[in-house]
Amino acid sequence: MPFTMLTSRMVEAQVLPGQTLFSQRGAMLAYRGDVRFTPSITGGQRGVRGMIGRRIADEDTPLMTVEGQGTVMFGHGGHHVQVIDLAGDTLYVESDRLLAFDGSLRQGTMFLGSQGGVMGMVRGQVTGQGLFTTTLEGHGSAAVMAHGGVLELPIGPGRPVHVDPQAYVAHRGDVRNKLSTAIGWREMVGRGSGEAFQLELSGTGMVYVQASEEKL
């Protein structure tokens, strides 16, 4: 697990020979040692299929490959950073929230519109995020950005969690998401257009919620 939090907004990564790290381009703040940064043309993705998926999904945040031996400090836009350690499970996160992640994690894109039927299709309009999201799977860590601090809420059988789509950051595990409306929620005059819906997450896993309704 290469990431160490320095402050709530800065993270330090250990880079070791033979291990690759991906980070958002321009997110490097400082480094020590012998470290090379190369723009990753394939968006960090291995294989053509992933690339096509990205092209269609518009889920391509420019990444760079970090290799060598040393320590690198990452931070971006003064956003809060949350380190998420994966142990074989899958993390679902918008690509522009990814600050840095282990090269050992398998990347993919997932079509979320298929979940929750027609309501799921609304997701893009509601959250301002696409109908596709990036997936990271395997053993390793990812540093994810959020506006304000991050709250981790466990999701269990019979214990679904409802999230304001504008405060949703990421989720992991075996989780179904659908857009729902709470009683009385529709007629509330909210701050944004997203207020009329809530993201209902059910299954087994964890959802990460930010302490703000602001976009990154």
Partner 1 sequence: MAQFRLQGSRVLAVDLTGDSVKAKNGAMVAYEGEMTFKKKTGGGEGLRGMVTRRLTGEQMAVMEVKGHGTCYFADRASEINLVSLHGEKLYVESSNLLCTDSALRTGASFTGLRGSAQGNGLFTTTVEGTGQAALVSAGTAIVLRVTPQTPLQVDPGAYLAHTGGLKQHFQTGVNFRALIGESGGESFQIRFEGDGLVYVQPSERNTIGGEL
Residues making contact with partner 1 (CB under 8 A):
80, 147-149, 151, 153, 159-164, 167, 182-185, 187-192, 195, 207, 209-214
- Which of 140/194 has CB closer to partner 1? 194
| Identity of the residue, 111 or 185, whose beta carbon is nearer to partner 1 in the bound complex | 185
In the bound complex, what is the minimum distance in angstroms from residue 161's beta carbon to partner 1? 5
Indicate the residue among 68 and 176 with the shorter CB distance to partner 1: 176
Least distance in angstroms from the C-beta of 69 to partner 1 = 35
CA proximity to 133, closest of 120, 151, 152, 119: 120
Closer residue to partner 1, CB minimum distance, 56 or 188: 188
CA dihedral over 28, 213, 43, 90, signed as positive or negative: positive
Q: How far is the CB of 12 from partner 1 (least distance, A)?
A: 21
Q: Which two tokens stand for residue 167?
A: 């405060």
Phi, psi of 145 (to 5 degrees): -100, 145
Closest distance to partner 1 from the beta carbon of 68 (Å): 35
H, E, C per residue of 36-71: EEEEECCCCCCCHHHHHHHHHHCCCCCEEEEEEEEE
